[in-house]
Structure 1
Amino acid sequence: MSLINGLPAHVLLVHVVVVLVPLTALALVICSLWPQGARRLGLVLPILALVTLVSVPLATQAGEWLERHVDSDPLVRRHAELGDGMLPWAVGLFVLAAGVWWLARRTPAPETAGPRSGSAPEAAGPRSGPGPVIRVAAVVLSVAVAAGAVVTVYRIGDSGAKAAWHDAYSKTATKGGDD
């Protein structure tokens, strides 16, 4: 993919990544901390993470095309180097989102207040879910990967903005007024 409606595709696709990575990271952390929320979201969490994962190589490939069509510049090269580091974070978001979704499905729903149809809750049999060590590990990994992904997408975006806008504007107004 090179151009979309006459614009470099990277310029448009990068916004998908910039929105979806923090959104997926936030959803992942919330769902890892709150299994009921993960159950409510159902497949939305892993599907969101999958769309995020797919968007990263699309934006990267479009960026590689754009890199071949602009002047060689250290800022552009730095942006491209940082951009190559986003895919592992997106993979991590997806793997953890799928894992948190799976754990939420295995976590028993909280019992409602009072016995149902006169039977004691124990009559339904023991309900087991993932152990506390697994839940804590899922939370810790989710927070770490979410934070790493958000910081990485910020660093990539910041370097891209510097590469695109350095020496491309005047600090003083060029046309009437100081609006």
Structure 2
Amino acid sequence: MDFQIAGLPAHILLVHVVVVGIPLLAVLLVVLAAWPAARRVLWLPTVIGAFVLLGLTYLTIESGEWLEHRVNETPLIEAHTEQGKDIEPWAIGLTVIAVLIAVLAIVERRQVRRAAVDAVPAPPTGATASAATTAARPTSTATAAGPTGTATATDAAAPPRARTARTVVSVLLTIAAVVVGAGATWTIIQIGDAGARAVWQGSYSDSPTGGGEGSDGGGDD
């Protein structure tokens, strides 16, 4: 497979997406795990983004190995290429957490709708049944509306065990997101540092070398 984009090695372009995307996804997962209203709105784009980023991570690793065979091999480049594979388990971990957050969000929305239906009073019998049912409809609709579930009345109407279970799962997912996100971010920093050393160490001078405007020499006295 030819890993080139517009005549340039794809690795030097893809790596920027991964370097920025991994930490952003890590922060977003922590927010969604700890904030129910946010995850009920953003769970779908987040899980899609996590899978896209996972695919780009694998492409970045493969394109890096492709590029390694087309440059002068040095110990620093070999070390950077091997170290690049360290991000794989962290990227998979972030994707798994995104999927679990999506599952939690779907369960919450179903519980919200079920609580809203259960909160609707049974229609009374007699001549006032029609008027009472009509008056109750706007309340039930308002309670069930919105992707966030208007959590006040509906969460209060949910069974205590369900609320407790959701809270426990949310706390565990928050801890997992913090741990995995921190590990992924630190790994990206380490890989980026190794890549910078592989490219620039020994290939630049501490002082200007050419005849540009910033050079110290070459002027007439």
TM-fit CA distance, 1:125: 6.0
Please give the alpha-carbon distance, in whole angstroms, between the structure 2 residues aligned to 1:157 and 1:62.
Answer: 15
Task: Spell out the pairing of 1:61-100 with structure 2 (5 A cutoff).
Answer: 61-100=62-101
Q: Given the two structures, how large is their TM-score scaled by the length of structure 1?
A: 0.86
**Alignment length (residue pairs):** 173
Any conservation in 1 of the 2:32–2:43 contact (CA below 8 Å)?
no
Q: Give the C-alpha shift of residue 135 in structure 1.
A: 2.1
Q: Which position in structure 2 is the counterpart of 1:152? A: 187
Tell me how far 1:41 sits from its aligned partner: 0.9
Structure 2 counterpart of 1:126: 158
Contact 1:36 1:104 in 2 (8 A): no
Whether 1:14 and 2:51 are equivalent positions in the alignment is no
Answering whether residue 203 of structure 2 is matched by residue 168 of structure 1, we say yes
1:142 maps onto 2:174 in alignment: no
User: Which residue identity is paired with 2:87?
Assistant: M
Q: Amino acid of the residue matched to residue 64 of structure 1?
A: E
Shift of 1:20: 1.1
- Pair member with larger Rg: 2
Amino acid in structure 2 at the alignment position of 1:145: V
1:105 aligned onto 2:140: no
Give distance in 2, aligned partners of 1:87 and 1:41: 24
1:41-56 → structure 2 map (5 Å cutoff): 41-56=42-57
Inter-partner Cα distance in structure 2 for 1:177 and 1:85: 40
Query: Any idea what SS the aligned residue of 1:43 has?
Result: helix
Work out the CA distance in 2 between the residues paired with 1:49 and 1:147.
Answer: 16
TM-score by length of 2: 0.70
1:59 corresponds to which residue? 60
For the aligned residue pairs, the C-alpha RMSD in angstroms reads 2.6
1:154, distance to aligned residue in structure 2 (A): 1.0
User: Do the aligned partners of 2:84 and 2:191 also contact (CA within 8 Å) in 1?
Assistant: yes
User: Is the 1:67–1:76 contact (alpha carbons within 8 Å) kept by the matching residues of 2?
Assistant: yes
Residue 11 of structure 2 aligns to a residue whose secondary structure is helix
User: Greater helix percent: which structure?
Assistant: 2
